[in-house]
Amino acid sequence: MLARFGILAADLAEYEPVDNYAIDLFKGERKPGSALTMVESYVVRAQKLATMSEQAFLASYGQVFRALPYLPGSPEDNVRQIYELHRRHGQQVIQIVDRELKNNASLVQTLSVPVTLLGMIVSPVAKQPDYIDPIEVEQPASAQAATDTHTIVAQPVVFAIDHGARIVIFRGGPQLKGAGYGLVCALAKEFEGDIESGITKDSFRYIKADNLAKRLGIDEQSLRQRVSRTRKALEQQFLNNCDIQLDFQDVVQNEEWKGYRLNPYLLLVKPTQLHRVGSMSQLNSSAVTTPPQPR
């Protein structure tokens, strides 16, 4: 199927007879199943690629960013070229489909066969509405903030690491155990070292993804999943226990090309001290490991 689309896109159909294929690409009968699903999905995906914006493309296919470190040239130029490559592919596919529809304007014969590619397409693909990612039509951040009734978390987020119980405790009740506890502990070494050194918050060190993964004894894909699950668990617990909307970077931060770190504005206390923290004035006492810092 893919080869035939390529031949037609290059206007080389005269050099490759249709009967070279067991099933005609457009008018051949196809039995229900994975093969039919694949050809239908291929055309639908092409229509999506042909009409989506660069922003929508990158939002839908974030794995593009994994390839950028291995490509020569600037990341910005490479992102643009990858997007244009996929957009051209989509445009070529729908042009071929529309041409076949035009050549078979009367679908009586086509529809007499139970299931064909043309039979599944009742109007030119290029005439379908352009694909718009939901992110492109959502309200501006200011408008969303105006209607958000959740309490926005005030820095600092206070936490303690109880190594004896193997648990991370946050003020208000949220907790991390198991893999979440291990992730915080793995990031705590640099965090505590940077506190002791007295460097500025912006200078707190990141840990490269590969180094952090090795420290935890997992691969990088598993690391990303662990970070995501930890963030989701904390977000839900802060909502349930504290009625606070936690930003996904409020505890575990990450930055492309740099890696991961604990948010420099987290406030680390001893487990026994956390239970006595009742107000922001108490956070300024000598019992606190790091003083609160404005963002």
81 and 197 assigned to the same domain:
no
Segment 34-55 shows an average pLDDT of 80
Buried b (16+ CB within 10 A) or exposed e, 73-100: eeeeebbeebbeebbebbbbbbbbbbeb
Q: 3-state class of 158 per DSSP?
A: strand
Convert the pLDDT of each residue in 108-149 to its tens digit.
Answer: 444 444 455 555 554 444 445 666 667 667 777 778 777 877
Residue pair 268/159 in contact (Cβ under 8 Å)? The answer is: yes
Q: Is residue 291 part of a domain?
A: no
Question: For residues 174-204, b (16+ Cβ closer than 10 Å) or e, as one string?
Answer: bbbeebbbbbbbbbbebbeebbeeeeeeeeb
Do 102 and 173 share a domain, yes or no?
Answer: no
End residue of a domain, out of 72, 103, 138:
138
| Contact of 259 with 122, CB cutoff 8 Å | no
| Same domain, yes or no: 125 and 184 | no
Residue 147 counted as domain residue: no
Average confidence (pLDDT) over 280-290? 41
Among candidate residues 232, 217, 222, the one with its CA nearest the CA of residue 185: 217
Residue 19 included in any domain: yes
Tokens of 26: 């457009």
The Cα–Cα gap between 242 and 148 comes to: 16
The reply to whether 13 and 128 lie within a common domain is yes
Domain count, the chain: 2
User: How many Cβ atoms from other residues are within 10 Å of residue 54's Cβ?
Assistant: 13
What DSSP character marks residue 176? Answer: E
* CATH code of residue 251: 1.10.10.10
Of the residues 106, 138, 170, the one at which a domain ends:
138
Mapping DSSP to helix (H, G, I), strand (E, B) and coil, where does residue 140 land?
coil
Pair (50, 113) in one structural domain: yes
Considering the domain architecture, whether residues 106 and 205 belong to the same structural domain is answered as no
46's enclosing H/E stretch is helix 34-51
- Domain match, 160 and 277 both: yes
Is the pLDDT at 8 greater than 90? The verdict is no
Q: Are residues 178 and 116 both part of a single domain?
A: no
Residues 156, 242, single domain; the answer is yes
Whole-number percent of the chain with pLDDT over 70: 71
User: How far is residue 258's CA from residue 138's CA, in Å, rounded to a whole number?
Assistant: 30
34 is a domain residue: yes
Average pLDDT over residues 184-207: 95
69-79 residue pLDDT tens: 899 989 899 99
Tell me, yes or no, whether 34 and 74 share the same domain.
yes
pTM of the model: 0.45
Is 215 a domain residue?
yes
Interval 91-99 mean pLDDT: 82
Kindly report, residue by residue over 181-192, the tens digit of the pLDDT: 999 999 999 999
**What integer pLDDT is reported at residue 293 of this predicted model?**
47
Give me the domain span that covers residue 198.
Answer: 152-284
Q: Among 264, 269, 262, which Cα is nearest to 284's?
A: 269
In a domain? residue 289: no
Same domain membership, residue 187 and residue 84: no
Highest mean pLDDT among 44-48, 65-69, 99-103, 167-171: 167-171
Given 90, 116, 138, the domain boundary residue is 138
82 assigned to some structural domain: yes
Q: Are 152 and 243 in contact (CB under 8 A)?
A: no
Selected residue with higher pLDDT from 32 and 218:
218
Say what the pLDDT of residue 56 is. 87
144 part of a folded domain: no
Same domain, 162 and 252: yes
